[in-house]
Amino acid sequence: MEVFWFIPTHGDGRYLGTSEGARAVTYHYCKQIAQAADELGYSGVLLPTGKSCEDAWIVASTLVPVTERLKFLVAVRPGLVTPTLAARMSSTLDRFSKGRLLINVVAGGDPVELAGDGVFLAHDERYELTDEFLAVWRKELEGESVDFEGDYVRVEGGQVLYPPIQKPYPPLYFGGSSDAAMEVAAEHVDVYLTWGEPPAQVKQKIEQMRTLAKAKGRKLRFGIRLHVIVRPTEEEAWLAADELIANLDEETIASAQHIFARMDSEGQRRMTRMHNGDRSKLEISPNLWAGIGLVRGGAGTALVGSPEQVATRMKEYEELGIETFILSGYPHLEEAYRTAELLFPHIPLSGFAEQKGPAFISPFGEMIANNEIPKAKRHEDTQHARSNKVEV
């Protein structure tokens, strides 16, 4: 499996729904997170999109030069940009990053926000537009000169003169749970993404997407977007989850739920239905917690537990067909390290982290008395020591 991290350009902090413990998301902070992810062995990073975020393309272009291997999953927004311009932008960033660009196709899910961006299309119409957009985008990056006239897109002689490094184009990622979205995904994308739903629901989605893609003579890969709260013990992890929403009041939850209700995103509806704003029903599946979705739009669930428990849940998703895990945690800089240190030794990683092995963070830690290399502590010894400490 490959593991991505997240660049929180829409804000970060220690608690949800409050300014307490918040921190400014500056360029230098984003750079710290990107460089940490690059060094720790994450395969890539997701950059969010929307009016609450810094512009993903500009952020990615500033972080590419200060990283070495990291891939950047950046949103293309049909309706906000023409397919020819988007293709040209994609080719440029792919070439200038030496093939480190991934494309996240986002049709949007909030009619109010979309209206502010000048898009006044109904839900299914946006996916019809996306279908036409991707047809043009793909052909141009494959080197064709495109003449196209659809219901939403018209292009005459569309061309990309400078080809991308990745062939035939940077891989397309896409998340959408409605029938209209799934049809577009089956036709065009390389990796279908789902938010962190219980395994039975994810299995159903994957099977549906495989059937749709097979009917079009295509095969898809699959990924999942989740938060993660991993600690040395399960008890510590659940305490950390409770702490994350400790300052969240009912008024803030109600306000967030009101905003979610206006959205026409089927994925957001599925996220909201998992808890309906009720804090007493947040563990929706073993080690799968919906507390983040009380106030955060989009991905609202987290894997919570010990390294062994979280790894077990990830392997359950992997058995269903999930290859890519896009993770995040609050605050994102510290949790990037914590997740790598605790979780990575327990999962079958692909790429850089696998090659570097256990030494991807540090060969051994700090020397003892300036002379001795510390010995590795067995898991059972650590658990025994923690138990004795609790008893005392």
13-67 per-position pLDDT tens digit: 999 988 998 999 999 999 999 999 999 999 999 999 999 999 999 999 999 999 9
* pLDDT above 70 for 360: no
Sorted by where each begins, the domain ranges of the chain are: 2-391
Residues sharing a CB contact under 8 Å with residue 108, sequence separation 6 or more, in sequence order: 77, 79, 114, 117, 119, 126
Looking at the chain, how many residues does it have?
A: 392
Element spanning 372, H or E: none
CA-closest candidate to residue 297, choices 56, 11, 65: 11
| % of the chain with per-residue pLDDT over 90 | 79
* SS3 state of residue 103: strand
Query: Spelled out in words, what is the top-level CATH class assigned to the domain 2-391?
Result: alpha beta
Per-residue pLDDT, 366 = 73
pLDDT bin (cut points 50, 70, 90) of residue 350 is: confident
Per-residue pLDDT, 378 = 59
* SS3 state of residue 345: helix
Q: What is the DSSP letter of 334?
A: H
- d(C-alpha 106, C-alpha 114), whole Å: 12
How does pLDDT run across 52-89, given as a tens digit for each residue? 999 999 999 999 999 999 999 999 999 999 999 999 99
Per-residue pLDDT, 364 = 59
How does pLDDT run across 94-103, given as a tens digit for each residue? 999 999 999 9
How does pLDDT run across 368-389, given as a tens digit for each residue? 776 677 777 655 555 555 555 5
Per-residue pLDDT, 331 = 97
- d(C-alpha 191, C-alpha 109), whole Å: 20
Q: Prior bond to 168 cis, omega within 30?
A: yes
Which has the minimum average pLDDT: 72-76, 90-94, 273-277, 350-354? 350-354
- Do 37 and 66 contact (CB within 8 A), yes or no? no
Mean pLDDT of 323-344: 97
Backbone φ, ψ for residue 158 (5° rounding):
-65, 135
The Cα angle at residue 375 between residues 368 and 339, in degrees rounded to 5: 100
Query: What CA–CA distances, in Å, run from 60 to 73, 147, 270, 328?
Result: 9, 31, 30, 17
